[in-house]
Every structure is written in C-alpha cells, then in structure tokens.
Structure 1
Amino acid sequence: MAAELAELLTIASDVLDAAAPRFVEGVGAPSAVDKGRGDFATELDLELERTLSKQLTERTGFPVHGEEFGGPQLTSGTAWVLDPIDGTFNYSAGHPLSGMLLALVQEGEPVLGLTWLPGLGQRYAAATGGPVFLNGKPLPSLERKTLSSAMIGFGAFNIDGAGRIPGIFRFNLLGALSRLSGRVRMHGSTGIDLAYTASGVLGGAVVFGHHPWDNAAGVALVRAAGGVVTDLLGRDWNIESGSVLAAAPGVHEELLDMINATADRARGEVEQ
C-alpha cells in the first residue's frame, strides 16, 4: 500500500504541476457563477476542474469528486477530492493566497493530501504516515507547542450569520482566542491554514466549513505531520465532519478547552 500511495502521489503531483501555469495565468478572473451568500466560481474553477478530473481519472482509474461538478459519494470506496481554486475571493481579487487542493480518500479517510500554492511557489504533499514534503523536501514532524507562542489560522465569519455555527459564536471564539494568543491570522483560504499548520508555520487552525474539498487535503497533511485533527467538539475528523480543529500537539488541547469554555458560557447565557 505504501508503494502504491507513493506512486499515486507522484502522479497527482505531476497533474497539479501541469495545471499550475494555467492557474497563475488566470489570477484576477472575475466571478462567472453565483453560488449564493457571497460565494462564487470563476471560469477558471470550471476549466481547471474539468482538466484535472479528466487527467486524474485517466492516469489513476479513480473517479473525482470536485467542488464545482460533484462526483461519487466519499464515505466508501476510493476517490479523489478536488478544489480547483481554494480561496476563490482572493484569487479573483489578484491576491496570492489561493491554491489547488487535492486529496485521495479511501473509505471516508484521506490517505493523500496535496496543497499547491502557485502564487507563493509552494507545493505541499504527503501520504499517510508522513513525512510532509514542501517542494519535494521532507519537513520535520510537529513538536509539542503552547497556544501562547503559536499563530492560529481562523475562519471567516459574519457576526450576524446563522447556520450550523452561528456568527456570534465564531465572534466569541475569536475574542477568547485573542486573550490566549495575540497572533490570529485570517488568510481567506482553508487550504493555506491547514498546510501552514502541517508545516509548523501556524500552531493550529480553526475551520468552520464542512466541505470535503476544502478540508480533506489539509487534514491529510496535518495528520502526516504528527498533528491532531478533530472537529470543533473534539471528535475524530472524518469526511462527514462539520468543522475542523487542527493543531500541533499541546496547542490542540488548549484550543479545544477554549472552545468548550466558550460554548459553556454561551449555554449559561441562554439559560439565564
């Protein structure tokens, strides 16, 4: 299995490398498909997903589940999960913090993760068991850290937003986090938050989104680096999880304690 995964990782890397020039060429592409609530896709999203899906299927035999066109269910079997442009708002605005995300999922668990950041010249890749490679060079495993010394990636929110994780709760989490670590970063890209957690640039990442194409690649990277990945409730992450809490050992425990304390305060205020 390790040899097979290594071969698949090489193929996937080649496919993303071939698409990188087109990705860079399209930076600044305007919105083409309105997906609602401030979300959209560019024509490059559609083009890249078609191109990458075709090549991956032809070269590996596995189907692709993409953000724009969907695909097979992911709780069983083997399939690629693709986000052709992560950080689409950044990409469309000409901001360099955007990338291509790709994971291979087997029975609902990511076993390969690739995060390509062409605007930054960075390529992160890993298979189950590690190590994480940055531009082909292995990175050291994550060491135990404390929250007070770590930068934390934090997901976007609207304080008035409702939904699964209300905006006010996200706002309260941000406030609590600011007291424990004054180094909070909002990159506008889940892929960057998770890749930088895997590489040790960030100590952890708080991700409110649940889409597998946003999360699977980064989860694979963080796990391969020796990090801890759960949802925001502390349950082991799987492809159906509604959020991601990924961090270095030590930092994850502190973040989870902070989230639980914030939730307890919110429940107490409701009861009053």
Structure 2
Amino acid sequence: MAAELAELLTIARDVLDAAAPRFVEGVGAPSAVDKGRGDFATELDLELERTLSRQLTERTGFEVHGEEFGGPQLTSGTAWVLDPIDGTFNYSAGHPLSGMLLALVRDGEPVIGLTWLPGLNQRYAATVDGPVHLNGQPLPKLERGKLSDAMIGFGAFNIDGAGRIPGIFRFNLLGALSRLSGRVRMHGSTGIDLAYTASGVLGGAVVFGHHPWDNAAGVALVRAAGGVVTDLLGRDWTIESKSVLAAAPGVHEELLDMIGETVRAADTAGRGSDAGSEER
C-alpha cells in the first residue's frame, strides 16, 4: 500500500504542477457562477476542475469528486477529492492566499493530501504515514505545544449569520481565542490554515465548514505531521464531519477545552447554539 500511495502521490504532484501556471495566469478572474451569499465560482474554477479531473482519472483510474461538478460518494471506495481554487474570494480579488487542494480518500479516510499554493511558491504533500513535504523537502513532526504560544487559524464568520454554527457563537469563540492564544489569523482559505498547521506555522486551525473538498487534503497533511484532527466536539474527523479542529498535540486539548467552555456559556445564556449539538 505504501508503494502504491507513493506512486499516486507522484502522479498527483505532476498533475498539479502542470496546472499551476494556468492557476497563476487566472488570478483576478471575476465571478462567473453565483453559489449563494458571498460564494461564487470563477471560469477558472470550472476549467481547472475539468482539466484536473480528466487527467487524474486517465492516469490513475480513480474518479474525482470536485467542488464544482460533484462526483462519486466518498464514504466507501476510492476517489480523488478536488477543490480547484480554495480561497476563491481571495483569488478573484488578486490576493495571493489561495490554492489547489487535492486528496485521495479511501472508505471515507484521506490517505493522500496535497495543498498547492502557486502564489506563494509553496507545495505541501504527504501520504497518510508522513512525513509532510514542503517543496519536496521533508518537514519534522509536530511537537507538543501550548495555546498561549501558538497562532491559530480561524474560519470566516458573519456575526449576524444563522445556520449550524451561528455567527454570534463564532464571535464569542473568537473572543475567547483572542484571550488565550498567541495570535489569531484569518487567511480566508481553509487549505492554507490546515497546511500551515501541518507545517507548524500555525499551532492549530478552527474550521466551521464541512465540505470534503475544503477539508480532506488538509486533514491528511495534519495527520501525517502527527497533529490531532477532530470536529469541534472532539470526535475523530471523518469525511462526513460538520467541522474541523486541527492542531498540534497539547494545543488541540486546550482548544477543545476552550470550545467546550464557550458552548456551556452559550447554553447558560439561553442562546442555544447548534455548535454544541451539531452531531448529538
């Protein structure tokens, strides 16, 4: 299995490398498909997903589940999971913090993860057993850390937002995090938050989204680096999880305690956030 994964990782690297110049060329592309409030796809999203999906399927025999066109179900069997442009808002604005995310998922578990950040000339890749490679060079395993020393990536929010994890809960969580962590960072890209957690740039990442194309590649990287990945409730992350909490050992435990205290405070105040019961 290790030899097979290594071969598939090499193919995936080649495919993403070939697409990187087109990715860079398209920076600043305007919205082409409206997907809801504050969410859209550019023509490059569509083009890159078609191109990458075709090449991956032809070269590996595995189908692709992409953000824009969907694909096979992911709880069983083997498939690639692709986000052709992660951080689309950044990308369309000409901001360099965006990238291509690709994972190979087997029976719901990511076994290969790649995060390509062409605007930063950074390429993160790993198989499930590690190590994580940055631009072809292996990175050390994550060491045990403390939240007070760590920068934490934090997902986007609108304080007036409703849904599974309401904006007011995210706001309260951000406040608690600002008191306990070294620094908070909002990159506007789940892929960057998770890749930087895997490399040790960040001590952890709080991800409110549940889409597999956003999360699978980064989850594979963090696990390969020796990090801890759960949902916000502390349950092991799976392809069906509704959120991600990824961090270095030690930091993860402190983040989980902080989230639990914020949930309890919300319940006591009678605000009833779904964040505390999203999977109960």
Give me the TM-score of the superposition, normalised by structure 1.
Answer: 0.96
8 Å contact kept, 1:173–1:262: no
8 Å contact kept, 2:114–2:217: yes
Large movers: runs of 4+ above 6 Å: 261-265, 268-272
Please give the secondary structure, in 1, of the residue aligned with 2:277: helix
Residues 55 and 262 of structure 1: CA distance in aligned 2, closer, same or farther (over 3 Å)? farther
Residues 138 and 182 of structure 1: CA distance in aligned 2, closer, same or farther (over 3 Å)? closer
1:178-221 residue CA offsets vs partner (Å, 9 max, x unmatched): 11014000000000000000000000000000000000000000
**TM-aligned CA deviation for residue 36 of structure 1:** 0.6
Q: What is aligned with 1:95? A: 95
Residues 12 and 174 of structure 1: CA distance in aligned 2, closer, same or farther (over 3 Å)? same
**TM-aligned CA deviation for residue 264 of structure 1:** 10
Q: Counterparts of 1:241 and 1:129 in 2: how far apart (Å)?
A: 22
**TM-aligned CA deviation for residue 270 of structure 1:** 17
Residues 194 and 163 of structure 1: CA distance in aligned 2, closer, same or farther (over 3 Å)? same
Q: Counterparts of 1:109 and 1:166 in 2: how far apart (Å)?
A: 28
Q: Counterparts of 1:101 and 1:134 in 2: how far apart (Å)?
A: 14
Please give the secondary structure, in 2, of the residue aligned with 1:195: helix
Residues 262 and 206 of structure 1: CA distance in aligned 2, closer, same or farther (over 3 Å)? farther
8 Å contact kept, 1:131–1:225: yes
Q: Counterparts of 1:117 and 1:264 in 2: how far apart (Å)?
A: 42
Q: Counterparts of 1:108 and 1:150 in 2: how far apart (Å)?
A: 30
Q: Counterparts of 1:22 and 1:158 in 2: how far apart (Å)?
A: 32
Residues 51 and 149 of structure 1: CA distance in aligned 2, closer, same or farther (over 3 Å)? same
RMSD: 2.7
8 Å contact kept, 1:172–1:262: no
Please give the secondary structure, in 1, of the residue aligned with 2:4: helix
Q: Counterparts of 2:83 and 2:269 in 1: how far apart (Å)?
A: 31
Q: What is aligned with 2:140? A: 140
Structure 2 matches for 1:222-261, cutoff 5 A?
Answer: 222-259=222-259
Q: What is aligned with 1:196? A: 196
**TM-aligned CA deviation for residue 109 of structure 1:** 0.3
8 Å contact kept, 2:147–2:182: no
8 Å contact kept, 1:65–1:80: yes
Give me the TM-score of the superposition, normalised by structure 2.
Answer: 0.93
Residues 270 and 217 of structure 1: CA distance in aligned 2, closer, same or farther (over 3 Å)? closer
8 Å contact kept, 1:212–1:239: yes
1:125-182 residue CA offsets vs partner (Å, 9 max, x unmatched): 0001100000000000000000000000000000010101010000000000011014
Residues 145 and 270 of structure 1: CA distance in aligned 2, closer, same or farther (over 3 Å)? closer
Please give the secondary structure, in 2, of the residue aligned with 1:264: coil
8 Å contact kept, 2:242–2:278: no
List gaps (5 residues or longer) in structure 1: none
Q: Counterparts of 1:128 and 1:90 in 2: how far apart (Å)?
A: 29
8 Å contact kept, 1:78–1:105: yes
Q: Counterparts of 1:12 and 1:212 in 2: how far apart (Å)?
A: 18
Please give the secondary structure, in 2, of the residue aligned with 1:270: coil
Q: What is aligned with 2:118? A: 118
8 Å contact kept, 1:210–1:240: yes
21-30 or 174-183, which moves further after superposition? 174-183
Identity %: 91
